Structure formats: C-alpha cells, structure tokens
Amino acid sequence: MDNKPVVLVTRRLPAAVEQKLGERFTTLLNPDDRLYSTAELLELAAQADAILPCHTEKFPADTIAQLPARVKAIANFSVGVDHVDLDAAKQKGIIVTNTPDVLSDATAEIAILLMLGAARRASEGERLVRNRQWKDWSPDFMVGRQTTGKRLGILGMGRVGQVVAQRARGFDMTIHYHNRKPLDPVQAGDAVYHDSVEALLANIDVLSIHCPAMESTRGLMNRERLALMHADSILVNTSRGGVIDDDALVAALNSGAIGAAGLDVFNGEPDGIHPGYRKLDNVFLLPHIGSATYETRIAMGYRAIANLVAIFDGDEPGDRVA
C-alpha cells in the first residue's frame, strides 16, 4: 500500500520536476495546465496533504479557512507570496514556503531586456519589420535612448536587484538604490544609497523595481512619485504589478512626463491589464516571463520539492515564509 503523502500540483510543471516529485510523493497533477477555479481547487485539496501552487492560484483567508485539516503545507512555485494570506495560513497551522535565490539571474536578464527594449523602441521596430512598414532609413528614424553611462536606480536591492546592478555595470551605468536600510559595503559595492524613494527618483535615468508586493508597496509608483522622474527616464518592473498605479503610469507615458517603460508584470494579468498600455508605443511589454528559462524552472521545482521533503520528514524547510 502506498503511504506516500499526497501533493496537489496546480499547474503543469517541467517533466523532470514532476518525475522527481513523484519519486517521493503521490501526485495529483494538472496535465492540461488548466487554471482551477476556487471550487475546483478546494475539491482537489480534499485529497491532498500539501499543495504545490504557482502565483496564479489565490489563497485569500476565506479559501485557506476552507482547506481540509489534512493540508499541512503550501509549497509555492514562486518567490512572491502575495497570492497567499500568510496570517491566515499561520492561524490554520499551514506551513508556507517559496523558492528564492534560483530566479535571480533569469529575472535580472529580463529586467535588462526590458530596459534595452524600452530605451531602443524595440516593440515599435519589431512591428515595423514584421508588418512590412519599414520603408526607409534616415538619421531621424527610430531614435531611442542610450543606457550606457546612465544612472540606474534600483528600488529593492535584494537578490534580483543586486544581480541587475552587477549586469548594468557592464553598460558603465552608475548604480543608485533604495532599501529600508543600506546594504553592507561588500554587497553594495559602488552603489549609492538613498534613504527614500523620492530621493532615489530625483537622481536616476532608469528605474528598475524589485521590491516585494505588500500593502506598504501597493501603488508605490503613483502620480506624485512618477512626477519626480525626468522626461527621458525609463521605468522597468519585474516585481509585481501592484507596485504600479496604472492610471498614473499610463498618464505619465502619454504626456511625455517619462520617456518609456518596460513591463513584465501587471495588475489584473492577463485579462485585466490596463488597456492604456496596449495603445502606447513607448512601452515594451512581456507576458510575466521573468523566470521563464528551462534552467530556472527546473531549479524552482527542485527547491519546492526540497521544502516539501523537509516538512514531511519533520524538519524545518529552508524557505519557510509562514
């Protein structure tokens, strides 16, 4: 008789991850990669000892309250945990984990791609070529902004932010950052610390956002803060859509208050994205693919499995957040 703990996997994972998970656990998989409704999620959870979800599954307090008592853990396949009510999970005695560290390189690569794509009008250029609208060349054609030697501001100098800083130094960019507190000198290197978001924004040409999504950061980049950026500046977001006030950013991009934006994450993604973004030429848009490399997705899966193994072995998981 199979006495292995049962793990509900809410989305299709890389085959290597599902195989490795199945070596230790009985798995309830989602081969069609369907987004479950809350009702479906709760029905499947009735058979599970743990859930391995992605950020696409939401666990607010009322959903957590309805989870069966046998569910011991929510082992997220993500770094961000804003889709889980951590306080409600703690109260119900459910362990919550995430997958930090292993996404840093891939997400930093996307941040650099967004910066360059926004600066050099990549979306416009790609459409011109693809739609056979490119007719001529002139000195005034498709002129963008150069990033080499510019000032990069990092809002949230954690794991990903530090890798972005490292990559950006290859473009001879000077690094500025804001955290709740300064990094130690070894981590910070030559980066300049600013003790407020406002001070950071007043001293940069490119802003790359890497702070976590929480109540204190919701709508952080609002009309007032965007007004502190200059007309040639670029905003990049690979963290969470909730950090941005969409109406304010669309207005700033429309008016020329800031020059361009590169966005991989959005409020209400995918269907509820602010329609203004789709109408703007000065926005480089990607579909939340910051961690979408083969190597990273495998590493994320293995990290989630390691957390589950620790939990069911009675050990403390390395990536516990609740």
> What is the set of active-site residues?
240, 269, 288
Residue 11: closest CA among 56, 74, 63 = 56
Distance separating alpha carbons of residues 124 and 109, to the nearest angstrom: 21
Contacts with 224 (C-beta within 8 Å, 6 or more apart), sequence order: none
Show contacts of 192-201: CB within 8 Å, 24+ apart: 194/153, 197/155, 197/225, 198/225, 198/228, 200/153, 200/155, 200/176, 201/153, 201/225, 201/228, 201/229
What's at 87, amino acid-wise?
A: D
Distance separating alpha carbons of residues 88 and 65, to the nearest angstrom: 7
Distance separating alpha carbons of residues 145 and 124, to the nearest angstrom: 14
Residue 28, beta-bridge partner list: 8
